[in-house]
Amino acid sequence: MAEAADNQGASPAPARRRWLRRAAVLLTGTPVLAALVYAPAPPAQAAESAVDVQLTEVAPSAPVKSDTLTISGTVVNNSRETIKNAHVGLRVGPRLGDRSSIDEVADRKGFRPGVDPGEIDQAFSVKIDSLPAKVDQDFTIKVPVNKLDLGADGVYQLGISLSGSTDSRPGEQVLGIQRTFLPWQPDPAAKRSSLTYVWPLISTTHVTAESGSDELQTPVFLDDSLAEELRPGGRLERMVSLGKDLPITWVIDPDLLTTVDAMTKGYRVRSPEPGGKPVQGRNKALAEQWLSSLESAVQGKKVVALPFADPDLASLAHHGKDVSGTLGQLRPATDKAKDAVETVLHVTPSTDFSWPVDGAIDPSIVNVATSAGAHNVLTRSDSLQETGSLGYTPTAARPIGAGTTAVVADADLSTAFEGDMARAGDSTLAVQQFLAHSLALNLQNSDEPRSYVVAPQRRPSAMQAESMATALRGLQGGRWSQPSDLEAAAAAKPDPGAATQVPGAGQYPESLAKQELPVSAFEKIRTTRNTLDHFKVILTAPDRVEIPFGNTTNREMSTSWRGRPDDARIYRDDVQDYLIGLTDKVKVVPKSDATLSGHSATIPVSVQNSLVQDVHNLVLRVKSANPTRLVFGDSGEAEQEVTVQGGHSQTVKFTANATASGPVEVTARLFTKDGVPYGKERKFTVEATEITPTVMLVIAGGVLLLVLAGIKMYASRKRVAARAVAEDSTQPSDESPDTEPQSAEGSGTGETVDR
């Protein structure tokens, strides 16, 4: 209803406007009559939204004089009444004067008599006798271009409308209209713009910090969703298949290349079950095919490599730069980028470009963007805005100081395909509007040909990529633009009057600021990095952890986490937890309590290494909690260097001395050679028993008495045995048993005496 009210008399015919002005002058003295002047005008057209007109094809998208224009689409009756005696007609409007007129027409809703042009010859219309409620019907209009009466070169409005009647509104009326644009440049222009189209090959983070213990360190993926992007019809497959035949500049995140390359060597995927073991990835052949296609597609084209994992420059500038060590990751990310592209694609990329999210910049973003060595910052015209004094859109290259060039992408062209391009009607409208803007740019008044850049969304969908490719094919006639590459655009001669003032921090879009990584994210990344630094110094093969975790650190700062704060936090936590799990594989083995009897003894402590590689540069230190009772050497603590083979344990013995009796707590802990604590400390109790000289004399006396008693008993038994032998030797051999016993003097046993 509001839309209908807005349309009532919104743009009356010129004669009617003149009549109203005269009437107002004559009647201003009579309030009652003056009220008639402001009475609502009768509806210009009724039920404008009754029919939805969708366009599925405009071909050719930029015709020449000898062409036949074909416009296909669908009309949908959204009303509750049957539409009768209808037809679909073509309306060709006047040439649009500038780019703002194009945007105004694109945003216009509903039919506006006096503004929207009349139909061309109805011989080219399509008859529809009856269109029932909630029913749609396809149509195709064909008309020779020379019948359109197009004039000077420029952009013309096309309107495709359905007119008809219903039982409630018997008169013919326009029931629905769709507007689009016809770029008209039948002959090559005397001066043509240079147009650079950035073709982004960027995905989200797919690789975890985990890897296998095998020689290749088989990576573990978060899931197997990347395979869906690589398979025929997938997003990345379409980007490569379409891009190989287009005049574009490839802008690639090297992390994507290394990830797909890892798939070709074998990979594993996290189990969806909590605690489950990773399963073998099954899309090796798919990855090989995609990489082969990409390598072929980039030959002879300009390739720009972003820093590894496409770091979020704005987040780094606004929240990360004050966290120590954060910005130091950018330069290695740039170096890795070049190596990855050369290794995987066998081409040498440019690493001289940085690309903040949506091209939005402020001074701090520019400083961070160039800290990695880039001299060109890819920004956008809705960030580095013009004052309007030039009267035309200037060349993309703008010097912004300190040897840095802002390469300003055109905002209208760059955002042309951000909508849902799944419907053919939406794609057709976007393509025609893109071509219209590109022609309008070239027709602007300027003395020299200019250079423009298009930087679309980072991760276009498959259908968005199709629409982008269709638009670029529409420019291949080269009648008003010629293709260029990003390096040439950055090197183009700047317009002297173009805006070069970087917007202040307060002008950074709030919607983008809300998506940035918080300070806590960079603090967590720093913690992980510090843990890694302490870990790798004990390893004999530190590259096995330095390379994968270095890559993971870059991934934690990626633009791919924008809009996914929970996923980003979980990823960071998983990285830290996994690294701590690795460091815990080198540890002091828990030890039970021990008893130390005597003045001195050795105490064994074991160190276990469950890693596959050897560890060194470790020191095992034991410390007594009570050095007055238990000491190691001459003090309360002692240490020894430790080297442990992978998968083994090493036992280290320490000499302990007791100076007094009682329990003493002992702490055993590993340290790196530079004195940094490593791993958890282990505590155990030693029961010390100190033996004094007096106690030793008493024990010695007791032992002596026992020895003397033993000697005496031995001598006594020996004498008794000797007497028995002597007695047996003096007794007669034929003595009768009844013989009387001898006197005591003659006895040899002495038993009678003893008893």
Give the model's confidence band at 714: pLDDT under 50 very low, under 70 low, under 90 confident, else very high.
low
pLDDT tens digits, one per residue of 208-231? 999 988 888 999 999 999 999 999
Give the model's confidence band at 245: pLDDT under 50 very low, under 70 low, under 90 confident, else very high.
very high
Mean pLDDT, to the nearest integer, of 318-334?
94
| 523 vs 518: CA distance, rounded Å | 9
Q: What is the DSSP letter of 509?
A: -
| 532 vs 542: CA distance, rounded Å | 10
Mean pLDDT, to the nearest integer, of 71-94?
96
Give the model's confidence band at 577: pLDDT under 50 very low, under 70 low, under 90 confident, else very high.
very high
Please report the pLDDT score of residue 709 as a whole number: 67
Give the model's confidence band at 734: pLDDT under 50 very low, under 70 low, under 90 confident, else very high.
very low
Please report the pLDDT score of residue 29 as a whole number: 36
| 736 vs 732: CA distance, rounded Å | 9
Tell how far CA 532 is from the center of its chain. 21
* SS3 assignment, position 231: coil
Per-residue burial over 511-545, b if 16 or more Cβ lie within 10 Å, else e, is ebeebbbeeebbbbbbebbebbebbebbbeeeebb
Q: Is the pLDDT of residue 241 over 60?
A: yes
Please report the pLDDT score of residue 726 as a whole number: 57
For residue 736, give both structure tokens: 């009768």
Sign of the CA dihedral running 476, 481, 483, 485: negative
User: 75-89, 354-368, 635-649, 714-728: lowest mean pLDDT where?
Assistant: 714-728
Average pLDDT, the chain: 87
Please report the pLDDT score of residue 691 as a whole number: 53
Please report the pLDDT score of residue 729 as a whole number: 52
Mean pLDDT, to the nearest integer, of 521-541?
96
Q: Is the pLDDT of residue 6 over 60?
A: no
User: Taking a C-beta distance cutoff of 8 angstroms, is the pair 643, 630 a contact?
Assistant: no
pLDDT tens digits, one per residue of 278-299? 999 999 999 999 999 999 999 9
Q: Tell me: cis bond preceding 272? Omega within 30 of 0 counts.
A: no
Q: Is the pLDDT of residue 26 over 80?
A: no
| 352 vs 738: CA distance, rounded Å | 134
Q: Is the pLDDT of residue 32 over 60?
A: no
Task: Provide the residue count of the chain.
Answer: 755
For the chain, what percent of residues have pLDDT higher than 90? 74
Give the strand pairing for 51-59 and 481-484. unpaired
Please report the pLDDT score of residue 538 as a whole number: 97
Sequence-ordered list of residues with C-beta below 8 angstroms from that of 753, at least 6 positions apart, any chain:
744, 747
Put residue 403 in one of left, alpha, beta given phi > 0 → left and psi -120 to 50 → alpha. left
Q: Is the pLDDT of residue 30 over 70?
A: no
Please report the pLDDT score of residue 599 as a whole number: 75
| 260 vs 258: CA distance, rounded Å | 6
Angle at 667 between CA 666 and CA 671, to 5 degrees: 150
Please report the pLDDT score of residue 597 as a whole number: 72
Which residue type does 640 have? Q
| 147 vs 150: CA distance, rounded Å | 8
User: 56-60, 78-82, 646-650, 723-727: lowest mean pLDDT where?
Assistant: 723-727
Between 703 and 72, where is the model more confident?
A: 72
pLDDT tens digits, one per residue of 140-191? 999 999 999 999 999 999 999 999 999 998 989 999 999 999 999 999 999 9
Sequence-ordered list of residues with C-beta below 8 angstroms from that of 562, at least 6 positions apart, any chain:
312, 357, 515, 516
Please report the pLDDT score of residue 25 as a whole number: 34
Give the model's confidence band at 49: pLDDT under 50 very low, under 70 low, under 90 confident, else very high.
low
**Sheet arrangement for strand 51-59:** 51-59, 68-77, 136-144
Write the CA distances from 461 to 153, 235, 298, 414, 456, integer angstroms: 34, 6, 20, 15, 11
User: Taking a C-beta distance cutoff of 8 angstroms, is the pair 214, 262 a contact?
Assistant: no
Please report the pLDDT score of residue 385 as a whole number: 87
Sequence-ordered list of residues with C-beta below 8 angstroms from that of 15, at least 6 positions apart, any chain:
none
Q: Is the pLDDT of residue 362 over 90?
A: yes
